[in-house]
Structure 1
């Protein structure tokens, strides 16, 4: 039964949750003692870690696959041919390719040595790096990422490694991995469960979203929406972080930790934890029925409006953080991100935390978030179902920023609450990863 199949067209626009995660993570972690007090680490090429810990990585990835089969509903089993098998005599390039296959991450994933500097700081002396060195996808229009090079052995602050890596999974790690995607690498993930398989950026959506709380009726009508792979990525990267810290590869401990945290942070975004935060299930079913009877306008309007509201929220948050960084301004969003007092509101980190705490909170906040966007943004961008903001983002982004100046207070207060959740869940997740390595803290 595919009564809600029209939502497949909606979700590609939501593949990215918070724009650039790195500026948010610099703020979220800069006062966390475990990060701020950590000693600088030596930048290390990935192949050095893989070569040194080949056997340990092989055992870890096998254990993670067994865990996923036992604990993750809808998990797509990793074929035996993709296992990471120790082979000390092989070339580094072959070892790296085998590692990406076993993780079932895009073969084009760069995992280069780089850093995304804190936007509040003066321009670093390190040489700039073109985005193509770091990203396997073309940067989005108006992107804020700026990269500098790291040399092997160069000392770098763990905060910079962590905050840089928190944005990295959006650089093409999860693009075109499903069986019906163009050029898929044969990872046996099956058909793409939602999102348009013909649109590359949309193919990463099932790795960055989690619809765990839609309810039994929705799950029955649209069962493919339950197949998401966020928890798998968190387990994979989190386990690799613990292994790296435990074995003296501190740089990759912080780097893999950031990769894991990205997927946690994506689920703090209500548009990533709910199929359509601004619509009830009854309304979704009604507009879909009308479309089946030959009147698709309301259905298409819902798709456009949900996409527009997500883009408006992301644009507002991104531009606010960027402008504040350039002006060295410390406002309510910045204060919310670093507010460590919020952390104790939640239970300790566990395997169930991302589903039962992070996604549940974001799903519950969906209707209020959607309403706050409608109140806080110009009507043109959030209430006109014939206006597709995504198709005009580059030229209309500045117009949106200008027109929101007089309206932003209504949205800012709600966004501060959401970014407070972002910061708290990021820190709690990192504490959980660090607690896996009590005998050798980085």
Structure 2
């Protein structure tokens, strides 16, 4: 039975590696009226190596403390190999110092961390020189990507809102690719210590980031018994790593990297507000998953494959429309229900103060509970062709079918838009609560 459930889960998850289409436009709206951000002083853009060179001993101490904390508090944590430990060495080159940080954080060696921005799409024209996607991301932009990058110069003054909103999308730029021992492009020795990929297809590059951007913390005891590897996710680790670096940067006068690392941490919080990232299959019950797997084991795999395709299609449709709605409103410089939901600061007080347990106990729990309603809203709000036909693969035809989907959605999208607004209200509230928590840790 355990083997049968894993057969379903392995092909299901790689297509769901991205939670929201582009975090940055949503983060501009979520933070633009938050006093701690809107009233913050301009900061000066600073190359990463300047921060590392100035704070090398403090960074080493922080990373060691984070690893000790993770070993004690994070369920299923994969211990960092001793060979990857960040050890201060004032004699080494800046390039070696940067590479040492990536190894200690166990990020992809291809991680860019360049000086850049995604400017607010409400601005009619870019205010800075354009920057190629390859300079910012190790993942090539798809034809339908909405990310547009501009260059920052060292020492240039920039608004914290722009730094924060830009960084909120950044972990999708290849930070978490090929970090497991069974990934074809995994880093050379020494091993990163994550072992074999716990779920998803290890041969699919983009799918290898899934365990760092998903959290199946609330599937229940039966599911956890049948598929224990699904409990091995590293979202909480990334939040703690980036969040700790943000606090250190703020505290030591490197304000640019304080806002930048804060955005990186918030990305992983925001991913778990997406129900398809907090549930293995929000549109299916565990008994149904077990039933279709049993049929597949007996030689009738059609229902199992259909479930995989439908879950993938519904995720893509939700992401597609969230992005289209947000970008269309930004270009018109108009507010709609999604923008209003993202800014709704009254929601913030509905949740407990930020703590290390917040990601699992609040964000993921809420998104998991919203899974069935979200899946149902997608089915009601989108044409049946896109979300109810197991013989149709939306992901394989997304670029061609985006305009057709947008046209066919007219007149039947209210239920879906209302559900997306609910989810984005939580996206904004949890993001602000997490940021307040990090700012409190940094002190005045």
Range class of TM-score, shorter chain:
over 0.9
Question: What's the counterpart of residue 290 of structure 1?
Answer: 295
Question: What's the counterpart of residue 247 of structure 2?
Answer: 242
- Map 1:12-23 → 2, pairs under 5 A: 12-23=14-25
Q: CA RMSD in A?
A: 0.6
Mind listing any 5+ residue stretches in structure 1 that lack a counterpart? Answer: none
Question: What's the counterpart of residue 410 of structure 1?
Answer: 415
Matches of 1:126 and 1:346 in 2, distance apart? 38
Q: 1:38 aligns to what SS in structure 2?
A: coil
Q: CA deviation at 1:140?
A: 2.6
The question of 1:280 aligning with 2:285 is answered yes
Question: What's the counterpart of residue 364 of structure 2?
Answer: 359
**Deviation string, structure 1 residues 297-355 (Cα, Å, up to 9, x no partner):** 00000000000000000001000001001111211100000000000000000010000
Question: What's the counterpart of residue 218 of structure 1?
Answer: 223
The question of 1:11 aligning with 2:16 is answered no
Question: What's the counterpart of residue 351 of structure 2?
Answer: 346
Q: CA deviation at 1:139?
A: 1.2
Question: What's the counterpart of residue 105 of structure 2?
Answer: 103
Residue pair 1:141, 1:393 contacting (<8 A) in 2 also: no
Q: 2:85 aligns with which of 83, 87, 108?
A: 83
The question of 1:373 aligning with 2:378 is answered yes
Matches of 2:220 and 2:4 in 1, distance apart? 15
The question of 1:114 aligning with 2:116 is answered yes
Q: 2:146 aligns to what SS in structure 1?
A: coil
Question: What's the counterpart of residue 125 of structure 2?
Answer: 123
Residue pair 1:271, 1:366 contacting (<8 A) in 2 also: yes
Question: What's the counterpart of residue 33 of structure 1?
Answer: 35
Matches of 1:31 and 1:140 in 2, distance apart? 32
Q: 1:22 aligns to what SS in structure 2?
A: helix
Matches of 1:418 and 1:283 in 2, distance apart? 26
Mind listing any 5+ residue stretches in structure 2 that lack a counterpart? Answer: none
Matches of 1:97 and 1:149 in 2, distance apart? 22
**Deviation string, structure 1 residues 66-94 (Cα, Å, up to 9, x no partner):** 01100111111000000000000100000
**Deviation string, structure 1 residues 104-139 (Cα, Å, up to 9, x no partner):** 000000000000000001313310000000001111
- Map 1:162-201 → 2, pairs under 5 A: 162-185=164-187, 186-201=191-206
Runs in 1 of length 4+ with deviation above 2 angstroms? Answer: none
- Map 1:259-338 → 2, pairs under 5 A: 259-338=264-343
Q: CA deviation at 1:3?
A: 2.7
Answer with 400-409 or 330-339: which moved more.
Answer: 400-409
The question of 1:422 aligning with 2:427 is answered yes
Q: 2:307 aligns to what SS in structure 1?
A: helix
Matches of 1:346 and 1:142 in 2, distance apart? 35
Aligned length: 439
**Deviation string, structure 1 residues 356-385 (Cα, Å, up to 9, x no partner):** 000000000000000000000000000000
- Map 1:63-82 → 2, pairs under 5 A: 63-82=65-84
Q: CA deviation at 1:183?
A: 2.1
Question: What's the counterpart of residue 437 of structure 1?
Answer: 442
Residue pair 2:70, 2:77 contacting (<8 A) in 1 also: yes
Matches of 2:140 and 2:349 in 1, distance apart? 39
Residue pair 2:317, 2:386 contacting (<8 A) in 1 also: yes
Q: CA deviation at 1:141?
A: 3.5
Residue pair 1:129, 1:148 contacting (<8 A) in 2 also: yes
Matches of 2:163 and 2:431 in 1, distance apart? 15
Question: What's the counterpart of residue 45 of structure 2?
Answer: 43
Question: What's the counterpart of residue 394 of structure 1?
Answer: 399
Q: 1:4 aligns to what SS in structure 2?
A: helix
Residue pair 2:341, 2:425 contacting (<8 A) in 1 also: yes
- Map 1:133-152 → 2, pairs under 5 A: 133-152=135-154
Residue pair 1:115, 1:164 contacting (<8 A) in 2 also: yes
Residue pair 1:110, 1:133 contacting (<8 A) in 2 also: yes
Q: CA deviation at 1:171?
A: 0.2
Answer with 181-190 or 13-22: which moved more.
Answer: 181-190
